[in-house]
Structure 1
Amino acid sequence: MLEPSHNDELPVIPGKRYFTIGEVSELCAVKPHVLRYWEQEFPQLKPVKRRGNRRYYQHQDVILIRQIRSLLYDQGYTIGGARQRMTGEEETTEQASNSTEYKALLREVITELEDVLKVLAA
Structure 2
Amino acid sequence: MYIELPEKLYYSMGEVTKAFQVNASLVRFWEKEFEVLHPKKNSRGNRIFSKVDIDNLKTIYHLVKEKGFTIDGAREYMKSHKKELNTFEIISKLEYVKAELQKIKAQL
Give the match for residue 57 of structure 2: 65
User: Which residue among 29, 41, 46 is the counterpart of 2:33?
Assistant: 41
Residue pair 1:50, 1:56 contacting (<8 A) in 2 also? yes
Give the match for residue 78 of structure 1: 70
Over the aligned positions, Cα root-mean-square deviation in angstroms equals 1.8
Matches of 1:29 and 1:14, distance apart in 2: 16
Residue pair 1:28, 1:62 contacting (<8 A) in 2 also? no
Give the letter aligned to residue 54 of structure 2.
Answer: V
Query: Which structure 2 segments of 5+ residues have no match?
Result: 85-108
Give the match for residue 89 of structure 1: 81
Are 2:48 and 1:56 equivalent residues in the alignment?
A: yes
Length, aligned pairs only: 84
Relative to the length of structure 1, the TM-score reads 0.63
Give the letter aligned to residue 66 of structure 2.
Answer: D
Give the match for residue 12 of structure 2: 20
Q: Which has the larger radius of gyration?
A: 1
Query: Which structure 1 segments of 5+ residues have no match?
Result: 1-6, 93-122
